[in-house]
Structure 1
């Protein structure tokens, strides 16, 4: 069964080795250049003006902007950089006001941690904003920043604004390039999927399509919510995305035929990708496709030609674009809804209290034990306990390893580089490593950020090489606090019910089977449901990937259930393929056959919810092998068999 469902070598690796292995990623040359300029120029300006400490604080603000600049579309990048900077300015102001105040600083930072943790649960931008609120409060309470109190937030804001300026320099030339490039990449991923039809690589390519489609919709719809015109470039991009739906529905049918599609089919999809990226229209719709030989090939052929009509049409119908957004709620309504959700959410309060407890312990410890400049303990706790960054346990391990590696670099810099103008070229080099290493994994990002922060800290407190060993000790203390007070004391951490999300996905798959063969349901509803289901399964995969980095028993349980995730995806594929066959003229399945399949899926979902171990739910698929639901029944039976131990 393992060969059929591809449990993947990554699942079988030891959890610690998997955690520390670098992820493959392209080299972000533009981001590296921006980081180099953003962090080194303020130091040079500060030296020239005779206020190096001002330059160091501006570089700290720029560092936050560099780390937060993770979006592709320019409008989202403005939002991702500017909003967190406001929270960061508030945080450093609060921290500066309690600098050197002992237990008052403990209370203040504990309350800031509670608010930061609760704010972080709202969304991605709010998460970064909450992070900067707490980080800058810790820095303000632990480092001697320039007086008076308002100067530090202003200087940090200047650093963030500098990064934003560097980021937006190319906007006039590339304003719509990220969205168009994302849609073109989605077309290329679909071409790779069609090329893999009938081969063992199909499942992997379909996962890549899901991720690419998620990214494209997120980018386009993020701008579409502010742009309701009917004849804008966004309408074209949205139409080009929506027309992929029939092609993605036809792909599983082609795959289940068991033979590769003609080479001209993926080549045609790549040709459309090139047209999308270049914004090319009016070139005709003759894709030189071979005559289709099977019902599945006819579905693919028809979907490709429809996609070509939309991609190459000079003016797609603006009234035939379903952007799935509806009318946005008024700003005040959205604000009240978000505020109510944060204040009433049990998960929000749990994370806020967990973070507040750990920060309070860290600050209380350094207040009781005379450790100079020990803000690094609380910084370590903050980074390790970031909820949407993955496993707390693995992050503590990666933080310790990354800090040790970064301190080796910092030791050489602080010992061998004389302070002054030499700091500028050294910072220019070290800054390039941050975007280059960040995509490789958290340990690598930590190793890149550590020497930069230490160099900036040395400019402010002039400890030189003496910073290195205390920072290592502080990091280990922070990791220990996070592991004990933020992980071991909370049973939900090490008794994670990874099966709950999977059970919800299985239940949604049962609903999809019902809707797929409900003749009263329109095609748009089926497409939206299938799209949402694949997105949810992608989220389930991500959650399982995080769980796999946990130590046993959570990691072992996730590894045991991983084949079920793959099996459910195959059930959805088989259902889509069966629906395509019905659309091509095959007989619809009987109502009792559909009811049997949905009942078996719901039994599987109930079994996953009721037990933390795999349960016995085996069944014989049975039924008419000539029915369009026969492949679905086989996949459901296989999923239920995977979810039970071999006896």
Structure 2
């Protein structure tokens, strides 16, 4: 494929027909389009039970307010119940509950204290924002810390002060107990399922090799491997070498890497692989999931060419390891990504939080918005005023997506949720009828959360209003204040948390993309480095370094793609700028794929590229990165010298072609 055709092919993946006049903007349509993620039926059942049972117990004991508080705690647990592995569920649910209990305790102590409450909630917002920058569990913990502090400061809670924290924590722990109910029977099943999913995603990729669906399948492999490694290595960080089952699963993951590396080489051939190859990989996936051992039986056709030989050798080795009952420790290389000890990671996280400019920026933004919200409701009488700060907290979560689009989507989702809540509050009498209604409404939360933020908001709104009604007995009168407060909160977030911060709409996506191009250059250098170890230990170290670099660059590419997809949901100029750079993201992915394929060919008999050819490709990529870093739009990228040259029969020829295509995208002809 010529450079021009290759460039046009990359651009065509982004090109779209012009919008019909009066149609909603693309960034809004993207947010309203439901995700294709499957409905988590087990979580649906747990949510219905977790929020309705406490209400039933509260009515049975003639303490409906206590039951409502326990259900509120369960709601927090349901929202955080997103992990697959059981040990991760303990972290995802239990740790945030501790922060939530601390938050409601602080809020309860400052309830009714006017400006003291304003100052305390502003300080809590700063801490919450800084905590949220550490990681996913910390993000949920910071969210619950602030949310519960706002609720405690805005609603009268039972006395003494520790009653509300205790009841909310009880609700979260109830969700945790329900989530861990299957642990004794299928304790390691989530990890095995994740490893098997990696094999199945690879089978789909090999089946798509040489066809138009390959790139999408390759991205799915990256996501599946990231998920599997995170689960297995996260569990292994706690038990290390004392668990043979985890050693076996990590060995099964590691032997998948050579097969993953062979996929780009097979794709660049331009023709499909024999169907027996993806079928054999799917059979290995079933063996991993079922825990089968024994002697593997493979019926593979004779390989033809370097790419097929690479896949054949990797597949036979993987089959041997998958079916071993007790893999030896030399098959397990933790250097591919084993995390540090928990204490070390905690110290690093605290250090990074305290000395990170991004952490302070987000903490200050959140504190400013919460402070403004609390000052406003202290000066202007607003019914149910704590909803304003709650809305700010939910919307101003940049790690959850675009702030601007979240504000708009939350307003729309709240409006839809209020319609449902109005029907419930108007037609359902307060009392035992609330229990089955809550079971149905709560079950909708995980089902709708899987479809998108607006859908999640629409599902959560009637649940919160029903619980608030049990605490305040305002019934249908809650509807209008809820909508007004949500709109005020969205407005504060858009102005003080978005428009007044230039970094929000002068996004640094170009810098992130430039860093990734530099990483691609280092990957090329690592894959074809000039050092040639002459010892077996040196060869193993070099191979491990290449595998680390390969896994790192593919994980980074996945993160860049996610960041750009979030930026595409922003209104102009951010969304337009992300759309302009998007074809170059695809081009960099192709460069990395071509490099991996070239390394596989060299490993199986092809001539290694000359040092000058490698250095020319590396220089060109670094030059492209500098051009991207210095430009606001692709058309502004200029120069960089002539495209890297190489022999047509060189293994790096596809890499040169992809670099030339990337240059054409970044600096189109006038």
Does the alignment reach a TM-score above 0.5?
Answer: yes
Within the alignment, does 1:567 sit opposite 2:587 as a pair? yes
The within-5 A match list for 1:234-313 is 234-282=246-294, 284-313=295-324
Deviation at 1:189, TM superposition (A): 0.2
Deviations 1:69-88 (A, max 9, x none): 00000000011100000000
SS in 2 for 1:229: helix
SS in 2 for 1:290: coil
Whole-angstrom CA distance in 1 between matches of 2:337 and 2:34: 41
In the other structure, the counterpart of 1:212 is 224
Please report the RMSD computed on the Cα atoms of aligned residues, expressed in angstroms. 1.6
Deviations 1:579-610 (A, max 9, x none): 11212222111111111100000001101111
Preserved contact between residue 617 and residue 640 of structure 1 (Cα < 8 Å): no
Within the alignment, does 1:386 sit opposite 2:397 as a pair? yes
SS in 2 for 1:611: coil
In the other structure, the counterpart of 1:530 is 550
Whole-angstrom CA distance in 1 between matches of 2:183 and 2:555: 30
The within-5 A match list for 1:398-409 is 398-409=409-420
Whole-angstrom CA distance in 1 between matches of 2:338 and 2:650: 42
In the other structure, the counterpart of 2:422 is 411
Whole-angstrom CA distance in 1 between matches of 2:345 and 2:612: 44
Whole-angstrom CA distance in 1 between matches of 2:341 and 2:38: 40
Preserved contact between residue 195 and residue 266 of structure 1 (Cα < 8 Å): yes
Deviation at 1:370, TM superposition (A): 1.1
In the other structure, the counterpart of 1:496 is 507
Preserved contact between residue 406 and residue 450 of structure 1 (Cα < 8 Å): yes
Preserved contact between residue 10 and residue 586 of structure 2 (Cα < 8 Å): no
Segments of 5+ residues of structure 1 without an aligned counterpart are none
CA 1:642 to 1:329, structure 2 compared with 1: closer, same or farther past 3 Å?
A: closer
CA 1:227 to 1:633, structure 2 compared with 1: closer, same or farther past 3 Å?
A: same
In the other structure, the counterpart of 1:3 is 9
In the other structure, the counterpart of 1:506 is 517
Deviations 1:189-217 (A, max 9, x none): 00000000110111000000000000000
CA 1:70 to 1:332, structure 2 compared with 1: closer, same or farther past 3 Å?
A: closer
Whole-angstrom CA distance in 2 between matches of 1:362 and 1:166: 37
Deviation at 1:386, TM superposition (A): 1.1
Deviation at 1:109, TM superposition (A): 0.5
SS in 1 for 2:329: coil
In the other structure, the counterpart of 1:596 is 616
Match for residue 581 of structure 1 among 601, 623, 627 = 601
Within the alignment, does 1:429 sit opposite 2:440 as a pair? yes
> Normalising by structure 1, what TM-score?
0.97
Match for residue 616 of structure 1 among 638, 646, 656 = 638
Match for residue 515 of structure 1 among 522, 526, 534 = 526
**Paired residues, number:** 646
Deviations 1:474-510 (A, max 9, x none): 0000000000000000000000110111111111111
Deviations 1:156-176 (A, max 9, x none): 011011111111111111100
In the other structure, the counterpart of 1:634 is 657
CA 1:257 to 1:76, structure 2 compared with 1: closer, same or farther past 3 Å?
A: same
Within the alignment, does 1:471 sit opposite 2:491 as a pair? no
Deviation at 1:67, TM superposition (A): 0.4
Deviation at 1:417, TM superposition (A): 0.6
Whole-angstrom CA distance in 2 between matches of 1:158 and 1:42: 10
Preserved contact between residue 94 and residue 172 of structure 2 (Cα < 8 Å): yes
Within the alignment, does 1:548 sit opposite 2:571 as a pair? no
Segments of 5+ residues of structure 2 without an aligned counterpart are 1-6, 19-24, 534-541
Whole-angstrom CA distance in 2 between matches of 1:361 and 1:266: 58
In the other structure, the counterpart of 2:539 is none
Deviation at 1:339, TM superposition (A): 2.2
CA 1:265 to 1:608, structure 2 compared with 1: closer, same or farther past 3 Å?
A: same
Within the alignment, does 1:320 sit opposite 2:331 as a pair? yes
